[in-house]
Structure 1
Amino acid sequence: MNEAKTPERSPGAHIRSLMRSLDRATLSTGMVNGDGWPYGSLVMTAADQDGSPLLLLSDLAEHTANFNADPRVSLLFDGTTGLAEPLTGARVSVLGRVKKIEDERMAERYLRHHPSARMFAGFKDFNFYRVSVERAHIVAGFGEIHWVEASNILSERVPELEEAEAGIVEHMNEDHADAIQLYSSVLLGRDGEGWEMTGCDPEGCDLRLGGAIARLDYDAPVRDADETRKALVSLVKRARQSAAE
Protein backbone atom coordinates (compact mmCIF):
# COMPACT_ATOMS: atom_id res chain seq x y z
CA MET A 1 0.00 0.00 0.00
CA ASN A 2 1.41 3.40 -0.96
CA GLU A 3 0.85 6.70 0.74
CA ALA A 4 2.21 10.19 0.32
CA LYS A 5 3.78 11.88 3.30
CA THR A 6 1.97 15.13 3.95
CA PRO A 7 4.19 18.10 4.93
CA GLU A 8 2.47 18.66 8.26
CA ARG A 9 2.89 15.09 9.47
CA SER A 10 5.68 14.49 11.96
CA PRO A 11 8.15 11.61 11.45
CA GLY A 12 6.59 9.84 14.44
CA ALA A 13 3.09 10.14 13.01
CA HIS A 14 4.36 8.91 9.66
CA ILE A 15 5.88 5.84 11.33
CA ARG A 16 2.63 5.13 13.16
CA SER A 17 0.69 5.51 9.92
CA LEU A 18 2.91 2.97 8.16
CA MET A 19 2.48 0.46 10.98
CA ARG A 20 -1.30 0.93 10.87
CA SER A 21 -1.68 0.77 7.09
CA LEU A 22 0.49 -2.30 6.37
CA ASP A 23 -0.38 -5.88 7.29
CA ARG A 24 3.07 -7.48 7.12
CA ALA A 25 6.69 -6.84 7.98
CA THR A 26 10.13 -8.43 7.99
CA LEU A 27 10.97 -9.61 11.50
CA SER A 28 14.68 -9.65 12.30
CA THR A 29 16.06 -11.63 15.24
CA GLY A 30 19.49 -12.85 16.35
CA MET A 31 20.11 -16.55 15.71
CA VAL A 32 20.29 -18.37 19.04
CA ASN A 33 21.94 -21.34 17.34
CA GLY A 34 23.96 -19.33 14.87
CA ASP A 35 26.37 -17.14 16.86
CA GLY A 36 23.97 -14.19 16.74
CA TRP A 37 23.71 -13.97 12.97
CA PRO A 38 20.71 -11.82 11.95
CA TYR A 39 17.70 -13.80 10.78
CA GLY A 40 14.87 -12.24 8.77
CA SER A 41 11.38 -13.68 8.30
CA LEU A 42 8.04 -12.52 6.92
CA VAL A 43 5.34 -12.03 9.55
CA MET A 44 1.76 -10.80 9.36
CA THR A 45 1.11 -7.83 11.61
CA ALA A 46 -1.67 -5.76 13.07
CA ALA A 47 -1.33 -2.52 14.99
CA ASP A 48 -2.92 -2.15 18.40
CA GLN A 49 -4.94 0.96 19.24
CA ASP A 50 -1.79 2.90 20.10
CA GLY A 51 0.14 1.59 17.09
CA SER A 52 2.11 -1.16 18.83
CA PRO A 53 2.71 -4.14 16.50
CA LEU A 54 0.79 -7.35 17.25
CA LEU A 55 1.88 -10.79 16.00
CA LEU A 56 0.61 -14.38 15.98
CA LEU A 57 3.55 -16.77 15.85
CA SER A 58 4.32 -20.47 16.13
CA ASP A 59 6.48 -21.83 18.93
CA LEU A 60 8.17 -23.98 16.29
CA ALA A 61 9.38 -21.06 14.19
CA GLU A 62 13.07 -20.16 14.08
CA HIS A 63 12.37 -16.54 15.01
CA THR A 64 10.46 -17.61 18.14
CA ALA A 65 13.43 -19.59 19.44
CA ASN A 66 15.60 -16.58 18.71
CA PHE A 67 13.56 -13.97 20.58
CA ASN A 68 12.88 -16.35 23.48
CA ALA A 69 16.62 -16.11 24.07
CA ASP A 70 16.84 -12.39 23.33
CA PRO A 71 13.57 -10.40 23.09
CA ARG A 72 15.13 -7.57 21.09
CA VAL A 73 13.70 -7.51 17.56
CA SER A 74 13.38 -5.28 14.53
CA LEU A 75 10.38 -5.03 12.23
CA LEU A 76 10.82 -3.56 8.75
CA PHE A 77 7.58 -2.06 7.40
CA ASP A 78 7.90 -1.44 3.65
CA GLY A 79 5.60 1.18 2.16
CA THR A 80 7.31 1.26 -1.24
CA THR A 81 5.33 -1.46 -3.04
CA GLY A 82 4.21 -0.44 -6.52
CA LEU A 83 6.39 2.67 -6.78
CA ALA A 84 8.34 3.18 -9.99
CA GLU A 85 11.24 4.40 -7.83
CA PRO A 86 11.00 2.40 -4.58
CA LEU A 87 13.80 4.33 -2.88
CA THR A 88 11.63 7.46 -2.96
CA GLY A 89 9.00 5.72 -0.81
CA ALA A 90 8.71 5.34 2.93
CA ARG A 91 10.01 2.42 4.97
CA VAL A 92 10.65 2.13 8.67
CA SER A 93 12.67 -0.18 10.90
CA VAL A 94 10.96 -0.47 14.29
CA LEU A 95 13.11 -1.58 17.22
CA GLY A 96 11.56 -3.07 20.32
CA ARG A 97 11.16 -6.03 22.61
CA VAL A 98 8.66 -8.78 21.90
CA LYS A 99 6.52 -10.29 24.67
CA LYS A 100 3.87 -13.00 24.71
CA ILE A 101 0.40 -11.69 25.59
CA GLU A 102 -2.81 -13.24 26.81
CA ASP A 103 -5.15 -10.38 26.06
CA GLU A 104 -8.46 -11.23 24.41
CA ARG A 105 -9.02 -7.71 23.06
CA MET A 106 -5.62 -7.58 21.37
CA ALA A 107 -6.04 -11.11 20.03
CA GLU A 108 -9.43 -10.28 18.52
CA ARG A 109 -8.05 -7.10 17.00
CA TYR A 110 -5.35 -9.13 15.28
CA LEU A 111 -7.81 -11.76 14.07
CA ARG A 112 -10.21 -9.19 12.62
CA HIS A 113 -7.29 -7.90 10.57
CA HIS A 114 -6.29 -11.44 9.55
CA PRO A 115 -9.46 -13.60 9.44
CA SER A 116 -7.64 -16.61 7.99
CA ALA A 117 -5.41 -16.73 11.08
CA ARG A 118 -8.34 -17.93 13.21
CA MET A 119 -7.58 -21.48 12.13
CA PHE A 120 -4.17 -21.23 13.84
CA ALA A 121 -5.14 -19.15 16.87
CA GLY A 122 -6.51 -22.16 18.75
CA PHE A 123 -3.43 -24.32 18.28
CA LYS A 124 -1.41 -24.85 21.45
CA ASP A 125 1.85 -24.02 19.69
CA PHE A 126 0.64 -20.60 18.43
CA ASN A 127 0.71 -17.52 20.63
CA PHE A 128 0.02 -13.82 20.36
CA TYR A 129 2.80 -11.30 20.90
CA ARG A 130 3.08 -7.54 21.27
CA VAL A 131 6.19 -5.58 20.36
CA SER A 132 7.00 -2.88 22.90
CA VAL A 133 8.41 -0.17 20.64
CA GLU A 134 11.55 1.60 21.85
CA ARG A 135 12.61 3.60 18.79
CA ALA A 136 12.41 3.52 15.01
CA HIS A 137 14.33 4.65 11.94
CA ILE A 138 12.30 6.01 9.04
CA VAL A 139 13.52 6.68 5.52
CA ALA A 140 10.88 8.50 3.51
CA GLY A 141 12.85 9.78 0.54
CA PHE A 142 15.85 12.04 0.03
CA GLY A 143 16.53 14.10 3.16
CA GLU A 144 13.62 12.50 5.06
CA ILE A 145 15.60 10.28 7.40
CA HIS A 146 14.97 10.26 11.14
CA TRP A 147 15.49 8.31 14.33
CA VAL A 148 12.38 8.66 16.48
CA GLU A 149 11.75 7.59 20.08
CA ALA A 150 8.69 5.59 21.11
CA SER A 151 7.13 8.53 22.96
CA ASN A 152 6.85 10.33 19.60
CA ILE A 153 5.58 7.26 17.71
CA LEU A 154 2.82 5.65 19.75
CA SER A 155 -0.48 7.41 20.29
CA GLU A 156 -2.14 7.80 23.66
CA ARG A 157 -4.20 4.81 24.77
CA VAL A 158 -7.95 5.50 24.83
CA PRO A 159 -9.63 2.86 27.05
CA GLU A 160 -13.16 3.97 26.12
CA LEU A 161 -12.49 3.32 22.44
CA GLU A 162 -10.62 0.09 23.09
CA GLU A 163 -13.71 -1.27 24.85
CA ALA A 164 -16.09 -0.02 22.18
CA GLU A 165 -14.14 -1.04 19.07
CA ALA A 166 -15.52 -4.57 18.57
CA GLY A 167 -19.10 -3.31 18.81
CA ILE A 168 -18.45 -0.44 16.41
CA VAL A 169 -16.91 -2.75 13.82
CA GLU A 170 -19.73 -5.29 14.11
CA HIS A 171 -22.37 -2.56 13.80
CA MET A 172 -20.74 -1.00 10.74
CA ASN A 173 -20.38 -4.35 8.95
CA GLU A 174 -23.90 -5.53 9.73
CA ASP A 175 -25.88 -2.29 9.35
CA HIS A 176 -23.78 0.09 7.26
CA ALA A 177 -22.12 -1.97 4.54
CA ASP A 178 -23.16 0.73 2.05
CA ALA A 179 -21.15 3.32 3.97
CA ILE A 180 -18.07 1.10 4.01
CA GLN A 181 -18.41 0.63 0.26
CA LEU A 182 -18.52 4.42 -0.18
CA TYR A 183 -15.38 4.75 1.92
CA SER A 184 -13.49 2.25 -0.21
CA SER A 185 -14.72 3.19 -3.69
CA VAL A 186 -15.17 6.97 -3.44
CA LEU A 187 -12.78 8.17 -0.74
CA LEU A 188 -10.00 5.62 -1.31
CA GLY A 189 -10.55 4.77 -4.98
CA ARG A 190 -10.39 1.04 -4.36
CA ASP A 191 -12.06 -1.50 -6.64
CA GLY A 192 -14.35 -4.33 -5.63
CA GLU A 193 -17.58 -4.96 -3.76
CA GLY A 194 -17.89 -6.32 -0.26
CA TRP A 195 -15.29 -4.37 1.70
CA GLU A 196 -15.56 -4.84 5.47
CA MET A 197 -14.27 -2.87 8.42
CA THR A 198 -11.70 -4.74 10.49
CA GLY A 199 -10.81 -2.16 13.11
CA CYS A 200 -11.03 1.42 14.29
CA ASP A 201 -8.66 3.42 16.46
CA PRO A 202 -8.33 7.06 17.52
CA GLU A 203 -7.01 8.12 14.10
CA GLY A 204 -8.98 6.11 11.56
CA CYS A 205 -10.40 2.78 10.47
CA ASP A 206 -9.13 -0.27 8.60
CA LEU A 207 -10.87 -2.10 5.74
CA ARG A 208 -10.34 -5.46 4.04
CA LEU A 209 -11.59 -7.23 0.92
CA GLY A 210 -10.04 -10.68 0.55
CA GLY A 211 -6.29 -10.11 0.52
CA ALA A 212 -6.58 -6.35 -0.07
CA ILE A 213 -6.45 -3.86 2.79
CA ALA A 214 -7.10 -0.14 3.01
CA ARG A 215 -6.68 2.56 5.62
CA LEU A 216 -9.00 5.56 6.03
CA ASP A 217 -7.97 8.37 8.39
CA TYR A 218 -10.41 10.65 10.20
CA ASP A 219 -10.30 14.42 9.91
CA ALA A 220 -9.37 14.60 13.60
CA PRO A 221 -8.61 12.09 16.38
CA VAL A 222 -11.50 10.57 18.35
CA ARG A 223 -11.70 9.33 21.93
CA ASP A 224 -14.88 7.28 22.28
CA ALA A 225 -17.74 5.60 20.42
CA ASP A 226 -19.77 8.78 20.00
CA GLU A 227 -16.89 10.71 18.48
CA THR A 228 -16.14 7.73 16.23
CA ARG A 229 -19.75 7.68 15.03
CA LYS A 230 -19.58 11.39 14.20
CA ALA A 231 -16.30 10.90 12.32
CA LEU A 232 -17.73 8.02 10.29
CA VAL A 233 -20.89 9.96 9.48
CA SER A 234 -18.77 12.90 8.33
CA LEU A 235 -16.83 10.61 5.99
CA VAL A 236 -20.06 9.23 4.53
CA LYS A 237 -21.32 12.75 3.85
CA ARG A 238 -18.06 13.64 2.14
CA ALA A 239 -18.17 10.49 0.03
CA ARG A 240 -21.77 11.08 -1.05
CA GLN A 241 -21.01 14.68 -1.95
CA SER A 242 -17.98 13.59 -4.00
CA ALA A 243 -20.00 10.88 -5.75
CA ALA A 244 -22.67 13.40 -6.69
CA GLU A 245 -20.26 15.89 -8.23
Structure 2
Amino acid sequence: MVNPIRETDDAARTQAQSFLQTCRHAALGVLIRDGQPMVTRIAFAPDLDGQPISLISDLSAHTQALKARPACSLLLGEPEERGDPLTHPRLSLMAQAEFLPRDSADHAARAAHYLQINPKAKLYLGFSDFTFVRFRITEAALNGGFGKAYQLTPQDLGL
Protein backbone atom coordinates (compact mmCIF):
# COMPACT_ATOMS: atom_id res chain seq x y z
CA MET A 1 0.00 0.00 0.00
CA VAL A 2 1.26 3.48 -0.88
CA ASN A 3 1.79 5.93 1.99
CA PRO A 4 -0.81 8.72 1.57
CA ILE A 5 1.30 11.21 3.52
CA ARG A 6 3.31 13.49 1.25
CA GLU A 7 6.70 14.91 2.07
CA THR A 8 6.18 18.26 3.80
CA ASP A 9 7.07 21.13 1.48
CA ASP A 10 7.00 24.92 1.67
CA ALA A 11 3.51 25.12 0.18
CA ALA A 12 2.15 22.85 2.94
CA ARG A 13 3.98 24.88 5.60
CA THR A 14 2.57 28.13 4.21
CA GLN A 15 -0.97 26.75 4.09
CA ALA A 16 -0.76 25.44 7.67
CA GLN A 17 0.73 28.71 8.94
CA SER A 18 -2.09 30.60 7.23
CA PHE A 19 -4.65 28.54 9.18
CA LEU A 20 -2.97 29.54 12.43
CA GLN A 21 -2.98 33.22 11.50
CA THR A 22 -6.48 33.50 10.01
CA CYS A 23 -8.78 31.04 11.79
CA ARG A 24 -10.89 32.62 14.53
CA HIS A 25 -12.51 29.50 15.91
CA ALA A 26 -11.63 25.84 16.24
CA ALA A 27 -13.20 22.55 17.21
CA LEU A 28 -11.55 21.42 20.45
CA GLY A 29 -11.38 17.72 21.26
CA VAL A 30 -10.86 16.63 24.88
CA LEU A 31 -11.35 13.55 27.01
CA ILE A 32 -13.92 13.93 29.76
CA ARG A 33 -14.88 11.53 32.54
CA ASP A 34 -14.04 7.88 31.96
CA GLY A 35 -12.09 8.81 28.81
CA GLN A 36 -15.23 9.74 26.89
CA PRO A 37 -14.34 12.10 24.00
CA MET A 38 -16.04 15.47 23.63
CA VAL A 39 -15.74 18.11 20.92
CA THR A 40 -16.74 21.73 21.34
CA ARG A 41 -16.23 24.99 19.45
CA ILE A 42 -13.95 27.64 20.91
CA ALA A 43 -12.75 31.09 19.90
CA PHE A 44 -9.18 30.96 18.72
CA ALA A 45 -6.27 33.31 18.04
CA PRO A 46 -2.50 33.29 17.86
CA ASP A 47 -0.88 34.47 21.10
CA LEU A 48 1.89 37.05 21.31
CA ASP A 49 4.39 34.28 20.46
CA GLY A 50 2.23 32.73 17.71
CA GLN A 51 1.04 29.74 19.75
CA PRO A 52 -2.73 29.25 19.62
CA ILE A 53 -4.74 30.49 22.61
CA SER A 54 -8.34 30.72 23.67
CA LEU A 55 -10.24 32.43 26.46
CA ILE A 56 -12.37 29.84 28.24
CA SER A 57 -14.55 29.60 31.32
CA ASP A 58 -13.70 27.47 34.34
CA LEU A 59 -17.39 26.51 34.38
CA SER A 60 -17.22 24.61 31.09
CA ALA A 61 -16.82 20.86 30.81
CA HIS A 62 -13.94 21.22 28.35
CA THR A 63 -11.98 23.39 30.80
CA GLN A 64 -12.38 20.81 33.54
CA ALA A 65 -11.32 18.10 31.08
CA LEU A 66 -8.21 20.07 30.07
CA LYS A 67 -7.24 20.59 33.70
CA ALA A 68 -7.51 16.85 34.33
CA ARG A 69 -5.88 15.82 31.02
CA PRO A 70 -4.05 18.58 29.14
CA ALA A 71 -3.66 16.50 25.96
CA CYS A 72 -6.12 17.74 23.34
CA SER A 73 -6.63 18.39 19.67
CA LEU A 74 -7.89 21.31 17.62
CA LEU A 75 -9.43 21.25 14.17
CA LEU A 76 -9.15 24.42 12.09
CA GLY A 77 -10.91 25.08 8.81
CA GLU A 78 -14.47 25.11 7.61
CA PRO A 79 -15.88 23.72 4.37
CA GLU A 80 -17.04 26.24 1.83
CA GLU A 81 -20.70 26.43 0.79
CA ARG A 82 -20.16 24.45 -2.39
CA GLY A 83 -18.41 21.21 -3.07
CA ASP A 84 -17.63 18.11 -1.08
CA PRO A 85 -16.70 19.12 2.50
CA LEU A 86 -14.07 16.36 2.57
CA THR A 87 -12.10 18.04 -0.22
CA HIS A 88 -11.73 21.36 1.61
CA PRO A 89 -8.46 22.07 3.49
CA ARG A 90 -8.23 21.62 7.24
CA LEU A 91 -5.54 21.49 9.90
CA SER A 92 -5.54 19.18 12.91
CA LEU A 93 -3.34 20.19 15.84
CA MET A 94 -2.29 17.85 18.62
CA ALA A 95 -1.42 19.88 21.70
CA GLN A 96 -0.98 20.20 25.43
CA ALA A 97 -3.15 22.80 27.17
CA GLU A 98 -1.37 25.27 29.44
CA PHE A 99 -3.46 27.61 31.60
CA LEU A 100 -2.06 31.13 31.85
CA PRO A 101 -2.50 32.90 35.20
CA ARG A 102 -4.52 36.10 35.18
CA ASP A 103 -1.89 37.74 37.40
CA SER A 104 1.01 37.05 35.00
CA ALA A 105 3.15 39.99 33.90
CA ASP A 106 2.05 39.66 30.26
CA HIS A 107 -1.70 39.22 30.91
CA ALA A 108 -2.61 42.81 29.96
CA ALA A 109 -0.62 42.64 26.71
CA ARG A 110 -2.11 39.23 25.90
CA ALA A 111 -5.64 40.47 26.61
CA ALA A 112 -5.17 43.55 24.41
CA HIS A 113 -3.73 41.40 21.60
CA TYR A 114 -6.55 38.86 21.88
CA LEU A 115 -9.21 41.60 21.83
CA GLN A 116 -7.76 43.04 18.63
CA ILE A 117 -8.39 39.65 17.00
CA ASN A 118 -11.60 38.67 18.86
CA PRO A 119 -13.24 41.95 19.93
CA LYS A 120 -16.45 40.26 21.13
CA ALA A 121 -14.42 38.62 23.90
CA LYS A 122 -14.54 42.00 25.68
CA LEU A 123 -17.97 40.93 26.98
CA TYR A 124 -16.47 38.21 29.21
CA LEU A 125 -12.74 38.94 29.45
CA GLY A 126 -13.21 40.53 32.88
CA PHE A 127 -15.30 37.70 34.33
CA SER A 128 -13.36 35.95 37.09
CA ASP A 129 -14.08 32.46 35.72
CA PHE A 130 -12.48 33.19 32.31
CA THR A 131 -8.81 32.53 31.70
CA PHE A 132 -6.48 32.11 28.76
CA VAL A 133 -5.31 28.68 27.75
CA ARG A 134 -2.35 28.23 25.43
CA PHE A 135 -2.21 25.17 23.23
CA ARG A 136 1.40 23.99 22.92
CA ILE A 137 1.41 22.18 19.61
CA THR A 138 3.25 18.86 19.60
CA GLU A 139 2.41 17.85 16.02
CA ALA A 140 -0.02 18.67 13.23
CA ALA A 141 -1.74 17.04 10.30
CA LEU A 142 -2.67 19.10 7.26
CA ASN A 143 -5.25 17.90 4.80
CA GLY A 144 -4.67 20.43 2.05
CA GLY A 145 -7.43 19.03 -0.15
CA PHE A 146 -7.99 15.74 -1.92
CA GLY A 147 -4.76 13.70 -1.95
CA LYS A 148 -2.75 16.37 -0.11
CA ALA A 149 -2.00 14.98 3.36
CA TYR A 150 1.02 16.15 5.38
CA GLN A 151 2.47 15.61 8.85
CA LEU A 152 3.96 18.78 10.33
CA THR A 153 6.10 19.66 13.32
CA PRO A 154 5.83 22.82 15.44
CA GLN A 155 8.87 24.10 13.50
CA ASP A 156 6.97 23.62 10.21
CA LEU A 157 4.27 25.88 11.70
CA GLY A 158 6.83 28.56 12.55
CA LEU A 159 6.61 27.90 16.29
**TM-score, with structure 1 as normaliser:** 0.56
- The number of aligned residues is 146
Taking the aligned partners of 1:50 and 1:154, their CA distance within structure 2 comes to 10
Structure 1 segments unaligned to the other structure (5+ residues)? 1-7, 156-245
Q: Answer whether contact 1:47 1:53 (CA < 8 A) is retained.
A: yes
Cα distance, 1:80 vs structure 2? 2.3
Q: Answer whether contact 1:52 1:154 (CA < 8 A) is retained.
A: no
**TM-score, with structure 2 as normaliser:** 0.84
Query: In structure 2, which of residues 150, 154, 157 is the aligned counterpart of residue 153 of structure 1?
Result: 157
Which residue of the partner structure matches residue 178 of structure 1?
none
Taking the aligned partners of 1:134 and 1:87, their CA distance within structure 2 comes to 24
Taking the aligned partners of 1:79 and 1:41, their CA distance within structure 2 comes to 14
Query: In structure 2, which of residues 134, 140, 146 is the aligned counterpart of residue 136 of structure 1?
Result: 140
Cα distance, 1:49 vs structure 2? 4.7
Cα distance, 1:147 vs structure 2? 1.1
Q: Does 1 or 2 have the higher relative contact order (CA < 8 Å, sep 6+)?
A: 2
3-state SS in 2 of match to 1:10: helix
Which residue of the partner structure matches residue 116 of structure 2?
112
Percent identity between the aligned chains? 29
Flag the structure with larger Rg: 1
- Using a 3 Å threshold, how does the CA distance of structure 1 residues 49 and 143 change in structure 2: closer, same or farther? farther
Q: Answer whether contact 1:139 1:145 (CA < 8 A) is retained.
A: yes
Which residue of the partner structure matches residue 30 of structure 1?
31
Which residue of the partner structure matches residue 73 of structure 1?
72
Cα distance, 1:108 vs structure 2? 1.6
Taking the aligned partners of 2:79 and 2:10, their CA distance within structure 1 comes to 18
Give CA deviations for 1:144-186 in whole Å, capped at 9, x if unaligned: 101111111125xxxxxxxxxxxxxxxxxxxxxxxxxxxxxxx
Q: Answer whether contact 1:77 1:92 (CA < 8 A) is retained.
A: yes
Cα distance, 1:26 vs structure 2? 0.3
3-state SS in 1 of match to 2:53: strand
Taking the aligned partners of 2:135 and 2:63, their CA distance within structure 1 comes to 13
Cα distance, 1:83 vs structure 2? 3.7
Which residue of the partner structure matches residue 6 of structure 2?
none
- Using a 3 Å threshold, how does the CA distance of structure 1 residues 70 and 64 change in structure 2: closer, same or farther? same
Displaced runs of 4+ in structure 1, greater than 4 A? none
Taking the aligned partners of 2:83 and 2:131, their CA distance within structure 1 comes to 38
Taking the aligned partners of 1:93 and 1:70, their CA distance within structure 2 comes to 18
Taking the aligned partners of 2:136 and 2:96, their CA distance within structure 1 comes to 5
Give CA deviations for 1:13-65 in whole Å, capped at 9, x if unaligned: 2111112111001000001x2x1111100101011355311100000000000
Taking the aligned partners of 1:93 and 1:59, their CA distance within structure 2 comes to 24
Cα distance, 1:79 vs structure 2? 3.9
Taking the aligned partners of 2:94 and 2:59, their CA distance within structure 1 comes to 23
Kindly report the root-mean-square deviation, in angstroms, between the aligned alpha carbons of the 2 structures: 1.7
3-state SS in 1 of match to 2:155: helix
Give CA deviations for 1:179-206 in whole Å, capped at 9, x if unaligned: xxxxxxxxxxxxxxxxxxxxxxxxxxxx
Q: Give the aligned residue type for 2:28.
A: L
1:43 matched to 2:42? The reply is yes
